[in-house]
Amino acid sequence: MAATSLQELFVEELRDAYDGEKRLTKALPKMAKASGSDELRAAFTNHLRETEGQIKRLEQVFRTIGEPVRGKKCDGLMGIIEEGKHAIDELDGSVLDAALIAGAHRAEHYEIAAYGTLAYFAEMLGNDKAKDLLGQTLDEEKAADEKLSMIAKSSVNREALMAAGTEEPMTRSSRGSGARRMASTSSRGHGSRAMASDRSRGGVRGNAGGRRRSRSTRDRR
């Protein structure tokens, strides 16, 4: 249905945001589980809680305009989440963490754009209640984005990422020690498959291989 007025466009954009948040409540637990850093995992888990609140807020906004609560497939976040799934399948260790952060930044920026627009539309439509609710979510998305930047730039994260780019043999004290052995003996296939492609392709995936932590190691934490 094509929107022919600002009011209709507002409803369409609300539905898009609603669908996007619903998708994120499914993606965030997977991103948390895939995280190799406690801080990153905590950030994703915390943002999952916030996202649940954002869904409640959107439901309230629908109510202010007497529209049924309904989502409409958000192709944008769907694509960003899809890219995140590829990262989880193909990467590991601190390089995976960096890719998860990169993907999460994309999601937050997409949402910041969406809620900034929605809050502005609500203001244009004279809907103060909706403007307030959407503004609260906008602030949360901005804070989540800044938190991701802080984690990405934290010394622990930078050290892990730089270590992942070196080719020297691993030391006992290094992050994910024992990972290579576990990955190459893994019967689950994932680690060894990725390792094999590391050897043939080199590049980022090759670098990640050195400090790889197997899926089973992550799951146990």
Q: Give yes or no for residue 74 binding Zn ion (CB under 5 A).
A: yes
Q: In angstroms, give the least distance from the CB of 176 to Zn ion.
A: 36
Both tokens assigned to 127: 């809907």
Q: Using CB under 5 A, which residues numbered 33 to 52 contact Fe ion?
A: 51
49, 72, 91: which is closest to 3 by C-alpha?
A: 72
214 binding partner (options Zn ion, Fe ion, none; Cβ < 5 to 8 Å by kind) = none
Q: In angstroms, give the least distance from the CB of 68 to Fe ion.
A: 21
| For Fe ion, the closer CB: 16 or 141 | 141
Q: Give yes or no for residue 97 binding Fe ion (CB under 5 A).
A: no
Q: Give yes or no for residue 170 binding Zn ion (CB under 5 A).
A: no
The SS3 assignment for 91 reads coil
Q: Give yes or no for residue 54 binding Fe ion (CB under 5 A).
A: yes
Whole-number Å distance between alpha carbons of 41 and 31: 8
54 binding partner (options Fe ion, Zn ion, none; Cβ < 5 to 8 Å by kind) = Fe ion
| For Zn ion, the closer CB: 34 or 58 | 58
Both tokens assigned to 144: 């989540």
140 binding partner (options Fe ion, Zn ion, none; Cβ < 5 to 8 Å by kind) = none
| For Fe ion, the closer CB: 57 or 218 | 57
57, 69, 88, 74: which is closest to 23 by C-alpha?
A: 74
Q: Would you put residue 12 in left (φ > 0), alpha (ψ -120 to 50) or beta?
A: alpha
Q: Give yes or no for residue 116 binding Zn ion (CB under 5 A).
A: no
Per the CB < 8 A criterion, the answer to whether 5 and 61 are in contact is no
| For Zn ion, the closer CB: 16 or 97 | 16
Q: In angstroms, give the least distance from the CB of 197 to Fe ion.
A: 32
151 binding partner (options Zn ion, Fe ion, none; Cβ < 5 to 8 Å by kind) = none
Whole-number Å distance between alpha carbons of 42 and 110: 21
194: Cβ–Cβ under 8 A, 6 or more apart, which residues? 90, 91, 92, 183, 205, 209, 212
Q: Give yes or no for residue 21 binding Zn ion (CB under 5 A).
A: no
Q: Which residues bind Zn ion (CB under 5 A)?
A: 16, 74, 76
